[in-house]
Amino acid sequence: MNRRKVGADYEGLAAAFLESQGYEILERNFYTRRGEIDLVAREGSALVFVEVKYRSDLRLGEPLEAVGPRKQERLRGAAAYYLMKKRLPEDTSCRFDVVGILEKEIRLVRDAF
């Protein structure tokens, strides 16, 4: 199985999990030159940019540890582009959440950075 297919499968799992938590999924895999946003969602009045990380085991560390400063900066840039492209007001309430999936365990970190 290729990595893109595996990623899509786990992003789908994360989307279903978020919906069960009250999120409304607006977009999947929003691509820009600055990077990709796995999921764009709404929870209450907040626009939420979600990064999904999967690990089958801990050899490469916890999935949530994979969202370091460099990845965070890319996500911020992609989110800024999303707001501009969708013509959303500058004062739109936004946050970044991370969903970590380790084997079958799903963990959500709201307002991760």
Tell me the mean pLDDT per 10 residues along the chain, length 113.
Answer: 70 96 97 93 97 85 86 95 94 96 91 93
Distance CA 84, CA 13 (A): 28
Cα 35 to Cα 13, 51, 77, 102, distances in angstroms: 21, 11, 8, 23
Residue 109, pLDDT score: 95
Q: Which residue has the tokens 């970190």?
A: 109
CATH of 3-109, one of 3.40.1350.10, 3.10.20.30, 3.40.50.2300, 3.40.50.300: 3.40.1350.10
Residue type at position 24:
E
Partners of 25 in beta bridges: 41
- In the three-class reduction of DSSP (H, G, I as helix; E, B as strand; rest coil), residue 40 is classed as strand
Residue 63, pLDDT score: 82
Distance CA 72, CA 67 (A): 6
Enter the tokens of residue 57.
Answer: 């085991």
Alpha carbon 34 to chain centroid distance? Answer: 15
Q: Which residue has the tokens 């820009």?
A: 32
Distance CA 57, CA 69 (A): 23
Residue 26, pLDDT score: 98
Residue 27, pLDDT score: 96
The total number of residues written for the chain in this structure: 113
Q: What are the domain boundaries of the chain?
A: 3-109
